[in-house]
Chain A
């Protein structure tokens, strides 16, 4: 599997588009590859933000998943939270890949700050 590591960042960045709408305090994650089955559950989106984005607190986010359109809309009720998550989303795919590579190389520190994840 390590063979695909060098390709993963590009694959993620090329396959997933993030559209920000600061005015309405929301952004959309648009998946351009064809996804088999369900796109995600709302809890999975929160877990993704915690694991790969660095989210450490519970903030109110309205998550709307459209499986047909392959979009996930995240809506916020204040600017501060929107900006916080917006910053995370700028590098979340690169972070995810870097963390995975670090772990396979034995650097377990990269996950020490992730809170308990209940799958």
Chain B
């Protein structure tokens, strides 16, 4: 529940106040095709300030989506509202600040021509350059283009900079990935079956303009929306019918990934999942020098780690923000305040802060440095740092110890272990950080009940308030009855009354356990697993192996008197694919002095 009273270091305050509005009488809307290379046409909805005078020149905010740039409303709503009514933010916030606002359907989606085999292809990125060229040739354009978005549109915003076009002045990727293998599709090598399947299903039905499916999954949208908005002069829907025919040949990630396990396996067109990542394009992004404002939440899938990796790896001037909301920041997600209903900042305050950033980059002094703002839950304060990990960072090691305890003392026994038969009924439900990618609320409830199915270890009460900020690393020495399997580790806070609150988690498929000596494709402070086929190391049943991996980054204050608890599972049935395919492993986790299992918590030393 980002505290509205948390003023110090608050990035939204530091981005400045709303200046005097430049245009006050609303905006005009038109939907047209923008011609790009090779005769392709991209559907665009263009909002301009209504009172824009002939000769006025303004910058453009561009958003490229795969989820319909605009919707054709059902009657009677269509008779009184235009196609931008469902836009968040309302375009008027943007046009009143003196910007044109253009939303496009990326190739192969919405009302745009073309087909798509993979998302974020090189061709899709080049389309952005063509669109920018078209924009700056318009009589109202001042030659400046910025881009922003959330999730898919966040990534298209960031990848627009890859084009290294001088008109592109700043980008704001919100809740976007860095490494799609670890951040979303296979966190820790474990296949996120639920999201991949649903996302592909949703994409396919959007691309063929089939709103019927919304009746079940988004009934309010179904009642309100008839389909994608055709361009204005497509009165007979000839264009729309043509593009729908083309989109029938689209391909979707689920069908190409469900039978794959490794990072280096090929998707269509000979590309690998790395080829559609952001990190593979670091060089071009840096060459552009475009200032980046990247923002996300501690609770959002693996995208939280994307913020940290982007901060560590990209040299561009950067503001990075990590808060405690859901995917897209329209709901609070801080698990320590389960009853909170309002998110801070409000969507309106947020967009105004983003517009201030754009103003600064186009008309002002720009930004020079790299600053990461992060919100510490429970303490309910914003912090800022120019380095990662933040100053004062250190690891505090807790060993898995007898009687399901966590102890800072190293075990002294020669033979000591805990046996656990994997319970494949364990689940974090359908409101976890992974389902959140579908813009759902994030709720980890009934942890006490769920922990009964898991192997748990709890510390003694903390003697002082302790800030955990960063990525915890767990190292488990274990044997298994099976060659394959997955380990899920939940980090939880236990208060004086025994209430358990989820903090973060990590997941890992054991066949990827090899810690590689290769140079990672990007700088990481975490144990490096390549997830490549050649490095796969199935367990040898009965033989001890080290499984070492990181948990998703977090920032939380453990209050004096509270305990921390780790809960270990072997599956999360409503989200991830189950490993192994057949059988139910029993694992034994060692806690001997020779093979001591432990978790390293990233602690920030606090000033007195």
Contact = CB atoms under 8 A, between A and B. Distances in A.
Interface of A: 1, 4, 8, 11-12, 15-16, 31, 33, 35-40, 44-45, 47-48, 51-52, 92-93, 96, 99-100, 103-104, 108, 111, 117-119
B219 A111 contact: yes
Contact of B74 (A8, A36, A48, A118): A48
A35 B223 contact: no
A38 B75 contact: no
Contacts of A118: 212
Contact of A48 (B75, B210, B215, B224): B75
Contact of A44 (B82, B220, B226, B235): B226
Contacts of A93: 76
Nearest to A4: B85
B85 A1 contact: yes
A40 B579 CA distance: 52
A51 B223 contact: yes
Nearest to B83: A36
A56 to B, nearest CB: 17
Contacts, number: 67
Contacts of A16: 76, 79-80
B323 interface: no
B86 interface: yes
B220 A12 contact: no
Would you list the 4 A-B pairs with minimal beta carbon distance, nearest first?
A103-B220, A104-B220, A11-B80, A31-B79
A36 B82 contact: yes
Given A38-B235, A111-B215, A119 B79 contact: no
Contact of A37 (B223, B226, B235): B235
B3 interface: no
Nearest to A7: B80
Given A48-B76, A119-B210, 20 more contacts: A1-B85, A1-B88, A11-B81, A12-B76, A12-B79, A16-B79, A33-B80, A36-B82, A37-B235, A39-B79, A44-B226, A45-B75, A51-B74, A96-B76, A99-B223, A103-B223, A111-B219, A117-B212, A119-B211, A119-B212
A96 B77 contact: yes
Contacts of A45: 75
Nearest to B209: A119
B76 A36 contact: no
11 contacts: A8-B77, A12-B80, A33-B80, A36-B82, A38-B235, A39-B75, A40-B75, A100-B220, A111-B215, A118-B212, A119-B226
